[in-house]
C-alpha cells in the first residue's frame, strides 16, 4: 500500500472539500425547504376543463400550487403574473412544470370563470375548484388559511387567504413554500434544482 506525505494528503482533502462546497452552493434552495413534512399529500378537485384531478396526474413534473380567487385585487394576479414570468425564464424546462390555481371562493369561482381567468396568464396553467366541503378539506390538508371578509353587499366580499405557494417535486413530494412577491428568479432557481 502506497503512503502519501501528510501535507499532500491534507492538500488533496482540502481540494476535494473545496470542490464539494463549490459545486453544492448552487444546489441550495432559496425558498423555504419543506422536505420531509408530512402533509399536503394529495387533493381531488375539478379543473377548469371539467376533469377530476389529483396530484398523481402531474407525476414527473414539478408542481406549483397557489390558493387564491379570481376577484382578488392584488396578491392573486401578481402571483399569477410572477408564475407566468417563471415559465418564460424556464424556457424548455417549463414543459416539466405545472402551475395549479386552487380557488378558495367556490361560491363565485365557477368552472367557466376559472376557464376565462387562469389561462390568461399562461395557457398551461390549470384552475381547480371544488364545492365548499372539498375546498375546506384541501385547505386543511395543505394548512392554508382562508376566510370571507364582508363587503358592502353580499356578493362584494373579499377573501383573506394564505399568500404563498407550495412546490412539489416530480415524485409528488412537498418540497418548498414560496413567499409572495419575491420575483421570478428565486423560483426559477429552485425549480431547476428540483428538475435535475
Is 73 exposed, middle or buried, given 0-12, 13-18 or 19+ CB atoms closer than 10 A? exposed
Dihedrals phi, psi of 99, to nearest 5 degrees: -100, 130
Q: Are the C-beta atoms of residues 166 and 64 closer than 8 Å to each other?
A: yes
3 pLDDT higher than 60: no
pTM here? 0.85
Rounded Cα–Cα distance for residues 195 and 43 (Å): 22
Q: What is the pLDDT of residue 194?
A: 96
Q: What is the pLDDT of residue 179?
A: 92
Q: Is 76 annotated as a binding residue?
A: yes
Q: Let me know the angle formed at the C-alpha of 33 by 31 and 37, rounded to the nearest 5 degrees.
A: 145
Rounded Cα–Cα distance for residues 67 and 48 (Å): 15
Residues 6+ positions from 20 with CB-CB distance below 8 Å = none
Q: Is 12 annotated as a binding residue?
A: no
**Among residues 113, 121, 102, which one has the least CA distance to residue 43?**
102
The class (CATH top level) of 71-195 is alpha beta
> Is residue 166 within a helix (H) or strand (E), and if so which, with residue range?
strand 165-168
Q: Is 22 annotated as a binding residue?
A: no
Per-residue pLDDT of 103-157, as tens digits, reads 999 999 999 999 999 999 999 999 999 999 999 999 999 999 999 999 898 888 9
Is 1 exposed, middle or buried, given 0-12, 13-18 or 19+ CB atoms closer than 10 A? exposed
Of all residues in the chain, the percent with pLDDT exceeding 90 is 80
**Among residues 88, 112, 109, 111, which one has the least CA distance to residue 99?**
88
Amino acid at each position: 500500500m502506497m503512503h502519501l506525505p501528510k501535507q499532500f494528503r491534507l492538500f488533496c482533502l482540502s481540494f476535494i472539500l473545496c470542490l464539494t462546497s463549490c459545486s453544492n452552493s448552487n444546489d441550495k434552495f432559496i425558498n423555504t425547504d419543506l422536505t420531509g413534512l408530512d402533509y399536503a399529500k394529495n387533493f381531488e378537485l375539478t379543473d377548469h376543463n371539467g376533469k377530476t384531478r389529483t396530484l398523481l396526474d402531474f407525476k414527473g413534473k414539478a408542481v406549483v400550487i397557489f390558493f387564491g380567487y379570481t376577484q382578488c385585487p392584488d396578491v392573486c394576479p401578481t402571483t399569477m403574473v410572477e408564475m407566468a414570468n417563471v415559465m418564460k425564464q424556464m424556457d424548455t424546462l417549463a414543459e416539466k412544470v405545472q402551475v395549479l390555481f386552487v380557488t378558495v371562493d367556490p361560491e363565485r369561482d365557477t368552472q367557466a370563470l376559472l376557464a376565462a381567468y387562469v389561462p390568461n396568464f399562461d395557457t398551461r396553467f390549470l384552475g381547480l375548484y371544488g364545492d365548499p366541503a372539498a375546498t375546506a378539506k384541501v385547505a386543511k390538508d395543505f394548512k392554508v388559511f382562508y376566510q370571507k371578509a364582508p363587503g358592502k353587499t353580499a356578493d362584494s366580499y373579499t377573501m383573506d387567504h394564505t399568500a404563498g405557494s407550495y412546490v412539489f417535486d416530480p415524485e409528488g413530494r412537498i418540497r418548498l413554500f414560496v413567499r409572495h412577491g419575491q420575483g421570478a428568479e428565486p423560483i426559477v432557481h429552485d425549480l431547476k434544482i428540483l428538475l435535475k
